[in-house]
C-alpha cells in the first residue's frame, strides 16, 4: 500500500483566453532539479497560433516558441523559484485566442528507484507508465476538442451555404419560368 503513494505527480490543466495585442503570464514555483512539462494547444481564434515564452527565476529563457498552434516542451529547473510562463497574442490585431494547456511537475517522487526492492521497482515503473498514458490521454483530449470545434464550425458554414444555394436555385428557377412563359404569351398589336 505504501508503494502506491511513492509516486506523486503535481499537474494542472487550464484554459485561458488571450485578447489581441496582449500577453497573459502565469507564475509557477518549482524546486531545484525538477523536470517540468508544458503541453499547450490553441483551440480557437484566428490562425490558431500563439507565442510561448518560459523564463526561469534568473530571467533566463527556457522555452521560446513563436506562432505555434500546439506544442510539447520540457525543461529542468536549474534553481528553485518562480517560473514565468507567458502566452503572447501581440501579433494578432483582431481575434482572441483560447489556449488549453497543462503544466506538469513529473519529478516529484518521494522515493528513489534504488531505495526500494524489486517488487516496489515494478510498481514504480508501472505507476510511471500509467502517468505517461494519462498525460498523453489529456493531450489527445485537447486535440480532439480543437478538431471537434473546427469540424462543427465547418459543418455550420456548409449548412448556411447549402441554404444560400437552395435559395439561389429556387430564384433562378422562378426567373426561368417567368421568362419562358413570356415566349408563349400572345401579344396583341393595335
Show pLDDT as tens, one digit a residue, over the chain (190 residues): 333 333 333 445 688 889 988 999 988 888 888 888 888 888 888 788 888 989 888 888 888 888 888 888 888 888 888 889 999 988 888 888 888 888 887 655 555 555 667 777 777 788 888 888 888 888 888 888 888 888 998 999 999 999 999 999 999 999 999 998 888 887 777 6
Q: What is the pLDDT of residues 88-110, one digit of tens each?
A: 988 888 888 888 888 887 655 55
- Which cell is 26 given? 502565469
Beta carbons within 8 Å of 148's beta carbon, 6+ residues apart: none
Cβ atoms 25, 85 nearer than 8 A = yes
- How much is the pLDDT for 172? 96
Question: What is the model's pTM?
Answer: 0.57
Instruction: Look up residue 45 and give its three cell numbers.
Output: 481564434
Cβ–Cβ < 8 Å for 15, 98: yes
Tell me the pairing of strands 50-55 and 61-68. Answer: antiparallel
pLDDT of residue 10: 43
Question: How far, in Å, CA of 171 to CA of 188, rounded?
Answer: 29
Amino acid at each position: 500500500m505504501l508503494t502506491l503513494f511513492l509516486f506523486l505527480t503535481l499537474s494542472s490543466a487550464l484554459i485561458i483566453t488571450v485578447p489581441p495585442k496582449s500577453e497573459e503570464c502565469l507564475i509557477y514555483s518549482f524546486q531545484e532539479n525538477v523536470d517540468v512539462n508544458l503541453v499547450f494547444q490553441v483551440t480557437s481564434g484566428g490562425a490558431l497560433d500563439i507565442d510561448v515564452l518560459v523564463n526561469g527565476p534568473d530571467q533566463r529563457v527556457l522555452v521560446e516558441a513563436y506562432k505555434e498552434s500546439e506544442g510539447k516542451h520540457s525543461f529542468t529547473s536549474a534553481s528553485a523559484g518562480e517560473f514565468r510562463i507567458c502566452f503572447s497574442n501581440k501579433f494578432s490585431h483582431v481575434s482572441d485566442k483560447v489556449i488549453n494547456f497543462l503544466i506538469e511537475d513529473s519529478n516529484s517522487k518521494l522515493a528513489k528507484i534504488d531505495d526500494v526492492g524489486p517488487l516496489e521497482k515494478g510498481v514504480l515503473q508501472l505507476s510511471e507508465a500509467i502517468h505517461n498514458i494519462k498525460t498523453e490521454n489529456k493531450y489527445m483530449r485537447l486535440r480532439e476538442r480543437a478538431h471537434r470545434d473546427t469540424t462543427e464550425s465547418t459543418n455550420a458554414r456548409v449548412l448556411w451555404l447549402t441554404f444560400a444555394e437552395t435559395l439561389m436555385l429556387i430564384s433562378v428557377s422562378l426567373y426561368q419560368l417567368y421568362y419562358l412563359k413570356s415566349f408563349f404569351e400572345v401579344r396583341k398589336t393595335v
